[in-house]
Chains A and B, each alone.
Chain A
């Protein structure tokens, strides 16, 4: 233990020395779980990194490592960035949570930002986006536009993030169309274009004319493009190449404003550990352009909902809402608290089937 403290001390001293040498430039590191060419999750984080470079020019230097496996590899990559004088490190996958905490403990002077996790420290912030706000708007458009009343949903893994999205979309689709029904396929992958394409086809063949996806590739868009009369929404990135049909809108992860703000905070010396869960209002969740395939009145309603959510006037989880088994969850006018939302592990009333796992 003593030797470890000593070595850590040496590491920190060295890191500080390097940091001091490179004082003029702020160094920002990004650790990615996928390739920057995935066209989805990691791609959008890398867009955020580029926005930081564009904003600050020569005052910052950004570095990144892609395809980092969760676990010891992630820990090593973060340590290496810290040793090489990074002032701020963004770790962009849930599985990087414990490695981030471990490395942060060894480098108290380096700031860390972990996406989608729940563990914080004096030099570790967490940030995540309220994608379910965008899902509410998707649900509204989907409920209005479906002819068959069957909406297909390609889900990845049964985790709170995904379940929240399903619930939010379903509530708002039902609100405008009481006959609407959800068919859900759990793909058990974040990214497998062939499987996603097959899942989309299976849903379309079973009558779905709206496909919502919580996986990252554009494969479902292409599958829908081939079938007539099916609409989709872009996920993570805009997927505008499939507009105006089948893609009628999209939810975009826009990390740029947050990354710029946090980098500026480090440069100003005003950085403090925070827990950020931003949605449409602050611009972390953007709604891609609603195409002309959507009727004008539906588009207007969707934009009104976007404005209401953005201003805080409307919360997508506002009671009365019952859980799937019929028990009461939110009373009339009651708004879901962030704790329940963050750990959501139940369907709302009206959804069929069980959450696997």
Chain B
């Protein structure tokens, strides 16, 4: 029979090869699904993976990869710290919303004044909003021992209602003829998170995501706190003997992930999205959890995973409009990709061996 044998060290070769194998496997199985739906599989796969990167209009899609990938990477980096320490914040979607709301509220409060200080204040407000929202499960866990998975998830739904209330009430555009949604921050220069270099997709959110990747890498590899995080995740009891204060670590991890999710929300609302509206959130907070695991909780891995997810989103949209594939086929395709990436990861840490075993 087949058994898995744990490798003493994760295999470097496999850790590089598995993503490639997974993508190829997805192409084969996804191609079969597309074929069953009556679409030319080769054209569909080429559209999803090739078009955005090297197609005729790649000059437009490449920057869009950054725009779509940056919030995913930013949120996933924050989450990965907690996940490594065994602290499960799955409510990043809520922190993203609250960060966007509080940051946008600050900007809108200044309207129509112009000033260099407005955008930095909004950034601070966004981070603070996300941080505060994450502190609720954090403090409840530290103080009462409540389960942070559940509390943070519940707070997503609370945040969604808050968002609806704000876009219909307090933050509604007074010149919007009663329609829901705030003023468009893209038309308010002091509050607009514009492209830093036009046409590149680089806005402050992308820059922040890059910085977050670097800082997380440094933190995890060069800093005492990073060591404590890793130790807590791998051996909680040993960590306690090593002097890790679990309460502070919980608050730190939840706080950082909340603040980064809040920042992602703020950069999105003040830049690409432009306004607070009822359906402002599009699930980045949940997708980021997948991105964090696809990247194996490693900062560089997360960066690549975020870009890969962005690629399938953008390529999927192109496939929809140019080949007439339904959105659900793209979702199935993405699901397959995730399954293969997750499943094949086993080869990195385990060796497959065939053994003869006698039944006792």
A, B: real partners: yes
Q: Chain A residues in contact with chain B, CB under 8 A?
A: 1, 3-4, 6-7, 10-11, 14, 29, 35-36, 63-73, 75-77, 79-81, 83-84, 94-95, 98, 102, 118, 157-160, 188, 342-345, 356-357
Q: Which of A71, A81, A344 contacts B321 (CB 8 A)?
A: A81
B358 within 8 A of A: no
| A76/B277 in contact, CB under 8 A | no
Query: Which of B35-43, B126-134, B176-184 is the contact stretch?
Result: B176-184
Counting from the closest, the 4 A-B pairs by CB-CB distance are A4-B198, A72-B272, A71-B273, A357-B168
In whole angstroms, how far apart are the Cα atoms of A188 and B328 in the complex? 25
17 new A-B contacts, CB < 8 A, other than A73-B68, A343-B177, A344-B178, are A3-B198, A3-B199, A10-B59, A14-B56, A14-B57, A63-B324, A64-B320, A66-B320, A67-B327, A73-B282, A80-B321, A83-B60, A95-B279, A118-B179, A160-B177, A188-B164, A343-B178
In whole angstroms, how far apart are the Cα atoms of A343 and B19 in the complex? 53
| B279/A69 in contact, CB under 8 A | yes
Q: Which of A3, A10, A29, A160 contacts B178 (CB 8 A)?
A: A160
| B327/A7 in contact, CB under 8 A | no
Assuming the contacts A10-B59, A160-B178, asked whether A98 and B321 have C-beta atoms less than 8 A apart, the reply is no
Chain A: which residue is nearest B330 at the CB level?
Answer: A67
| A66/B178 in contact, CB under 8 A | no
Contacting residues, chain A, for B280 (C-beta < 8 A):
70-71
| A72/B279 in contact, CB under 8 A | no
Contacting residues, chain B, for A72 (C-beta < 8 A):
67-68, 268, 272-273
In whole angstroms, how far apart are the Cα atoms of A188 and B56 in the complex? 42
In whole angstroms, how far apart are the Cα atoms of A310 and B277 in the complex? 35
Distance (whole angstroms) from the CB of A165 to the closest CB of chain B = 14
Assuming the contacts A4-B199, A65-B321, A95-B277, asked whether A159 and B178 have C-beta atoms less than 8 A apart, the reply is yes
Assuming the contacts A70-B277, A75-B272, A345-B178, asked whether A64 and B282 have C-beta atoms less than 8 A apart, the reply is no
Contacting residues, chain A, for B278 (C-beta < 8 A):
95, 157
| B322/A7 in contact, CB under 8 A | no
B138 within 8 A of A: no
Distance (whole angstroms) from the CB of B244 to the closest CB of chain A = 40
Contacting residues, chain A, for B179 (C-beta < 8 A):
94, 118, 159-160, 343
Contacting residues, chain B, for A75 (C-beta < 8 A):
272
Q: Which of B161, B199, B277 contacts A188 (CB 8 A)?
A: B161
| B274/A71 in contact, CB under 8 A | yes
B348 within 8 A of A: no
